[in-house]
Amino acid sequence: MPTRVWDYLLEYEAERTDIIDAVESVFRSGRLILGDSVRCFEEEFAAYQGVRHCAGVDNGTNAVKLGLQALGVGPGDEVITVSNTAAPTVVAIDGVGAVPVFTDVRPDTYLMDVGQVEAAITSRTRCLLPVHLYGQCVDMAPLERLAAEHDLVILEDCAQAHGARHHGRMAGSMGAAAAFSFYPTKVLGAYGDGGATITSDGAVDASLRRHRYYGMERTYYVVETPGHNSRLDEVQAEILRRKLGRLDQYIAGRRAVAARYAEGLADTGLVLPAVAEGNDHVYYLYVVRHPRRDDIIEALRAHDVHLTVSYPWPVHTMSGFAHLGYAPGSLPVTESLAHEIFSLPMYPSLPVEAQEKVITALREVLKRL
Ligand SMILES: *Cc1c(COP(=O)(O)O)cnc(C)c1O
């Protein structure tokens, strides 16, 4: 069997009874949209992440979009984020009519270089949008200071950071709101699409709930500000509830995989992930770096190991964002990374033998480069 960066079939085999039972229980409940499963999942997920409210939505992109709208970010507002992220972060900013402004990333963690944020602030800046990429948090204290000084809101993109901690604080509890994705590959993944926006601010939560429900208060059926239909599905919510109970186990499994890579690849010339001080990494992705990245990926195919790159095209270099006006070379760290990083297989049900095979193949390929 080929080894890939992500696979869910072994996990499904192990959890099948529970997953099928989740589906069956929703189908038998008599309530298929915004029922008990969504409500309970919202309460349980908010508690897990350490905030007061959670609004379940249909995917992570809309979680970011609704988060921005609920925080009052709209047309013409500038949102400071990074180009080294999953494109949906930026698609969501664009989707509310706001203007993404990019800082470069740090050469060690590949996360937002917060030292560059202040220089990017203008009179139009409304929001700072740190992305807790790969499973560890951006350095938040400087952002919180800048947000207070310049009257900005912080929206955390936590799509890759369920359960991550930063100096003891939970990802998603540090900004005014935070967006999560439950895309199947994520640290907490659904069996289909799902997302959530969390906050401790009751007014922001009320706005999120209106935005995901056409713009209506559920009890009044009147639209004041037109919204979207962006509800979390009841079936996915019940599956997520079951999986939330195992989230700490999944994270422990990911950390065990990371520890085996760190040991098996320590002296190979590959640059392994650096964990910033104060961070508890949840290893959504295990991203390594080497100047001969493309040759390595190609050679590993012969060993039946199929790797991917997250992300090969920085968002500012994509044709869809050419209008933002970032010339090649404008974000040098981001651009050089894009040629050198790649992701190793990383998921909690990755069998130890499969991982050993990857390590052995990688060591062999690196020796022969
Ligand atoms: C996955 C992801 C998203 C989008 O989530 P979807 O559920 O796929 O819409 C947004 N931001 C980041 C950083 C992601 O990794």
Regarding the beta carbon of 207 and ligand 1, being less than 6 Å apart is answered no
> For residues 235 and 31, what is the distance between their CA atoms, to the nearest angstrom?
10
Token representation of residue 201: 């601010």
Regarding the beta carbon of 159 and ligand 1, being less than 6 Å apart is answered yes
**Residues above pLDDT 90, as percent of the chain:** 98
Q: Check residue 221 and give its pLDDT.
A: 87
Q: What is the mean pLDDT of residues 331-337?
A: 98
Query: 131-148 pLDDT, tens per residue?
Result: 999 999 999 999 999 999
pLDDT at 250 over 90: yes
Q: Check residue 187 and give its pLDDT.
A: 98
* One-letter identity of residue 44: E
Beta carbons of 332 and 102 less than 8 angstroms apart: no
Query: 147-191 pLDDT, tens per residue?
Result: 999 999 999 999 999 999 999 999 999 999 999 999 999 999 999
Q: What is the mean pLDDT of residues 250-273?
A: 97
> For residues 224 and 71, what is the distance between their CA atoms, to the nearest angstrom?
17
* One-letter identity of residue 349: S
DSSP 3-state of 275: coil
Confidence bin at 105 (pLDDT 50/70/90): very high
Q: Check residue 227 and give its pLDDT.
A: 93
Domains parsed from the chain with CATH numbers: 3-103+111-244 (3.40.640.10), 247-368 (3.90.1150.10)
Give one DSSP letter per residue of 318-364, joined into a string: SGGGGGG---TTSSHHHHHHHTTEEEE---TT--HHHHHHHHHHHHH
Q: Tokens 């049900």 identify what position?
A: 349
CA of 86 to the centre of ligand 1 (A): 6
Q: Which one of 5, 6, 89 would you pick to mutate in the ligand 1 pocket, going by the greatest count of ligand atoms within 8 A of its CB?
A: 89
Confidence bin at 220 (pLDDT 50/70/90): confident
Confidence bin at 219 (pLDDT 50/70/90): confident
Q: How far is CA 189 from CA 125, 240, 257, 313, 347, in A?
A: 33, 7, 18, 24, 11
Q: Check residue 353 and give its pLDDT.
A: 97
Q: Check residue 262 and give its pLDDT.
A: 98
Q: Check residue 300 and give its pLDDT.
A: 98
Q: Burial of 218 by CB count in 10 Å (0-12 exposed, 13-18 middle, 19+ buried)?
A: exposed
Regarding the beta carbon of 326 and ligand 1, being less than 6 Å apart is answered no
pLDDT at 317 over 90: yes
CA of 94 to the centre of ligand 1 (A): 14
What sign for the dihedral angle of Cα 360, 363, 364, 366? Answer: positive
